[in-house]
Structure 1
Amino acid sequence: MSDSGWGVGRERVLTVGVVVARTGRLTSLGDPLDFVMTLLAPELAAAGPRGFRVRLAGRDSRSSADGARQAVKELVQDENASIIVTLAGTQVLPAVADACESVGVPCLSSTFPWQVYYYGRGADAARPFDWTYHFCWGLDDIAGTFADLWEQACGAGRQTVGCLWNDGPQGDWSRHPEHGFAPAARDRGHRLVEPVPYREPAVDLGRHIQEFRDAGAAVVTSAATGQDLALFRAQAAEIGWQPRLITCSRWLAYPPSSTISGRQSAQADVATLVYWTPGHPYRSSLDGTTPAQLAETYEQLTGRQWLQPLGLAYALFEVAAHALATADDPTDRRSVAAALGSSRLDTIAGPLDWTSGPVPNIATVPLAGGQWQPGTRHDYELAVVTPGGAQGLRVTGDLRTA
């Protein structure tokens, strides 16, 4: 007997459940997912396997792990979801995935370095997950992209890099001796200066700044919040010290905003990751929509600047529709999970391939290097300054350094 799929009269329905942050601190990440969900609902209705209509059902994670678990419970029990998708943060995404693994429903997620998703949830080569799948870049990919930026800013050869790590999951995984950012950066030949991790939100980063200056750090790298990054830059300026370049991987998917009144935006001229832009040479598997068209639609309908997570959010629904359409039995959740695990699909976020990932359950997304620079259409725009692993992506700006 199938455990998913239901119908009214002769119509059979498959439900894609969406765990989305509509309230709380992660609403900026929930916004692109909510937008794409609304945008694609009519199109996805006809994108299912023959004889089925696909519907979308959302639940608010409330930006918390408990809210995420409750959302999964409601989507399974009340909506009979065939598959669940999400974009979420450090605490929320694992809660969604673990809840799906526990109840036996396929889950697809993104925006989380794959090592944290995989090893952080207890999987290994001998024990992969049964129900949960993910696509993203890795901590080693971040290190490689940032090393390209450091070397472009300061020249080839060994650089001294100050590491502004917190004492939370971002800092812990950045420092992880086997799967983290730090060992991959050292493998590129760079020297890392790692003071004692700070507690979020930071109150005083003077000790870190002093250690970086004393060590002769030319660049600083971090996974800080915008608030803590702004504090770091303000305190460094107070003592007359400025690194040649700052690289940061957290929250830099979003356009710069001032986090301390009267001071320079925390993100301005900070180099970061580029995983999706209007200039990426991809197309949607659903209807051929390009990144440029999706970004323009978002800006026209919302009045806000496009966001990098838009591409990943859109790809979630592409892959979910593909899994339902290719499953041997789309009403059987285990069959849908198997289809996810064998998916190879060209999406608006690029080619995604779960058959050749670094570990089971994972497909990777290529990274380029970028920097938030003063723009023409917007106050700040994300310039692509190194193409990295994103084939066909055009460089749109020169790296700005202090």
Structure 2
Amino acid sequence: MGSDPQLTIGAVIPKTGRLARLGDPMSFVLDSLSGRLPPVRAGGRRHGVRLAIRDSRSQPSGARQAVRELVETERADIVISMVGTRVLPAVTETCESLQVPCVSTTFPWQAYAHARDAEPGRPFRWTYHFAWGLDDIAAVFAEMWERLGGAQTVGCLWNDDLQGGMLRRHFTPEATRRGHTLVDPGGYEEPADDLRDHLDHFLRFDADIVTSAATVADLALYHRQAARAGQLPRLITCSRWLSYPHAGIAAALAEARVATLVYWTPFHPHRSSLDDTIPADLAAAYEQATGRPWLQPLGLAHALVEVAHHALATADDPADSGAVAEAIARTRLATVAGVLDWTNGPTPNIAVLPLIGGQWLPTRHGHELAVVTNTAAPDVPITADVTPTPR
């Protein structure tokens, strides 16, 4: 192996800064796979595959520098990344500028395209993404609202930034198509210091379900103020708190029974294309190594490495960046996160993951994620009914 030419998968992750905890799943996956990636063969030659990591420092400027270092110093043949509504676009745009193939995830695909000023009919040349759509989130949330009885009046706790704007554009039509009425008081600035105006607006329009994409801190603030005012909703659905409920202030939400979207669990019936790892084993390994509960992004982080390795292994020339990008574009791969198919996405450069519904329920040991709807992935077992928020 020492004399084999080396191919490099470069990874940009937040190891420091405000997003550092969000980088834990990918850090674990990279550590566990380092030195264990199988070689690839092309043109009669055997190529070793290694991983190189750079810290985004949780900032767009740090992300851009990280990509440049991976390309110019580490000679990365492909770059992978996840996490950060402003950091991830910085990674992908830098990869596009430097003409290095990139695969990313964890950002709804419409927001990914919008943040990068994508133009219809003009696909990106170098950068590819897999995730779900904002309309998919709306469908999952609407199904959970409907479990509480028919069409609902739902208050929208959305910010005044990109995320809120994209939800108004892509979430609202799907929710209203299903017969629900959305009450939107307008966006709030993050971080929020007072959400009582939103509470009053929801009360005025009899919105007793609330949907959100708030940070943990802002959602905890809303829940605290609603409880004090005696205005707790029957159900809270939130798409941003879904993955990291065990950190810090999240404990304040343990009794809130927040419902969320689910894209990966230890019970999903998938298998890694690299080493046949199944979700249950990946989750167990993370818990044993860290002493913390499994997190949904584990599956996506592992799939990122799988896709990058597959692109190098199937490219006509793995040392040619254009050939590697073309290999991603024609990829349809069964991964530990499910089948990722760039040949049949909603737009070029996008592969879609199915979403189902989950809810965080309190237990003696804290809280755990239960699967409460599974329409888009019926092979994942439902483990609980949708439960209203205690009042």
Same fold (TM over 0.5): yes
Structure 2: any 5+ residue segments left out of the alignment? Answer: none
Match of 1:42 among 35, 56, 62: 35
1:135 pairs with 2:146: no
Q: CA deviation at 1:78?
A: 0.2
Structure 1 equivalent of residue 381 of structure 2:
394
Q: Secondary structure at 2:34's aligned position in 1?
A: helix
Q: How many pairs align?
A: 387
Distance, in Å, in 1 between the alignment partners of 2:203 and 2:248 is: 25
Q: Secondary structure at 1:32's aligned position in 2?
A: helix
Match of 1:83 among 73, 78, 87: 78
1:273 pairs with 2:268: no
Distance, in Å, in 2 between the alignment partners of 1:335 and 1:92 is: 26
Structure 2 equivalent of residue 195 of structure 1:
185
Distance, in Å, in 1 between the alignment partners of 2:176 and 2:386 is: 23
Q: Is the 8 A contact 1:25 1:63 kept in 2?
A: yes
Q: Root-mean-square deviation (CA), in Å? A: 1.6
Q: Deviations over 1:175-224 (max 9, x none)?
A: 12xxx211221122211100021111111111100110111112100000
Match of 2:209 among 219, 227, 243: 219
Distance, in Å, in 2 between the alignment partners of 1:139 and 1:259 is: 26
Match of 2:242 among 229, 246, 252: 252
Distance, in Å, in 1 between the alignment partners of 2:329 and 2:186 is: 40
Q: CA deviation at 1:140?
A: 0.5
Q: CA deviation at 1:267?
A: 7.3
Match of 1:69 among 60, 64, 79: 64
| Cα distance, 1:289–1:48 mapped onto 2, change above 3 Å | farther
| Cα distance, 1:389–1:181 mapped onto 2, change above 3 Å | same
Match of 2:48 among 26, 45, 53: 53
Q: Is the 8 A contact 2:103 2:129 kept in 1?
A: yes
1:343 pairs with 2:331: yes
Q: Is the 8 A contact 2:7 2:49 kept in 1?
A: yes
Distance, in Å, in 2 between the alignment partners of 1:256 and 1:86 is: 22
Match of 1:287 among 270, 275, 294: 275
Q: CA deviation at 1:264?
A: 3.5
Distance, in Å, in 1 between the alignment partners of 2:185 and 2:157 is: 8
| Cα distance, 1:135–1:328 mapped onto 2, change above 3 Å | same
Matches within 5 A, 1:77-156: 77-153=72-148, 155-156=149-150
Distance, in Å, in 2 between the alignment partners of 1:256 and 1:48 is: 42
Structure 1 equivalent of residue 368 of structure 2:
381
Q: CA deviation at 1:257?
A: 4.8
Q: Is the 8 A contact 1:106 1:131 kept in 2?
A: yes
Distance, in Å, in 2 between the alignment partners of 1:16 and 1:268 is: 41
1:298 pairs with 2:291: no
Q: Deviations over 1:238-276 (max 9, x none)?
A: 11111110000003212345528xx84267400001111
Structure 2 equivalent of residue 160 of structure 1:
153
Q: Secondary structure at 1:86's aligned position in 2?
A: strand
Structure 1 equivalent of residue 321 of structure 2:
333
Q: Which amino acid aligns with 2:214?
A: A
Q: CA deviation at 1:43?
A: 2.1
Distance, in Å, in 1 between the alignment partners of 2:320 and 2:122 is: 23
Bigger mean CA offset, 93-102 vs 187-196: 187-196
Distance, in Å, in 1 between the alignment partners of 2:388 and 2:86 is: 34
Distance, in Å, in 2 between the alignment partners of 1:290 and 1:266 is: 29
Distance, in Å, in 2 between the alignment partners of 1:307 and 1:74 is: 29
Structure 1 equivalent of residue 350 of structure 2:
362
Structure 1 equivalent of residue 173 of structure 2:
183
Q: Which amino acid aligns with 2:316?
A: D
Q: Deviations over 1:32-82 (max 9, x none)?
A: 111100111122143565500001000000000000000000000001110
Q: Which amino acid aligns with 1:363?
A: A
Q: Which amino acid aligns with 1:270?
A: V
Q: Deviations over 1:265-306 (max 9, x none)?
A: 267400001111101111111111110000000011111111
Q: Deviations over 1:333-370 (max 9, x none)?
A: 00000000000000000011000000000000110100
Structure 1: any 5+ residue segments left out of the alignment? Answer: 1-6
1:241 pairs with 2:231: yes
Structure 2 equivalent of residue 4 of structure 1:
none
Q: Which amino acid aligns with 2:192?
A: A
Q: Which amino acid aligns with 2:7?
A: L
Q: Which amino acid aligns with 1:13?
A: Q
Calculate the TM-score normalised by the size of structure 1: 0.93
Q: Secondary structure at 1:51's aligned position in 2?
A: strand
Structure 1 equivalent of residue 295 of structure 2:
307
Q: Is the 8 A contact 1:48 1:321 kept in 2?
A: no
Q: Which amino acid aligns with 1:34?
A: S
Structure 2 equivalent of residue 371 of structure 1:
359
Q: Is the 8 A contact 1:69 1:99 kept in 2?
A: yes
Calculate the TM-score normalised by the size of structure 2: 0.96
Bigger mean CA offset, 302-311 vs 180-189: 180-189
Distance, in Å, in 2 between the alignment partners of 1:103 and 1:90 is: 21
- What percentage of residue pairs aligned between the two structures are identical? 58
Bigger mean CA offset, 47-56 vs 10-19: 47-56
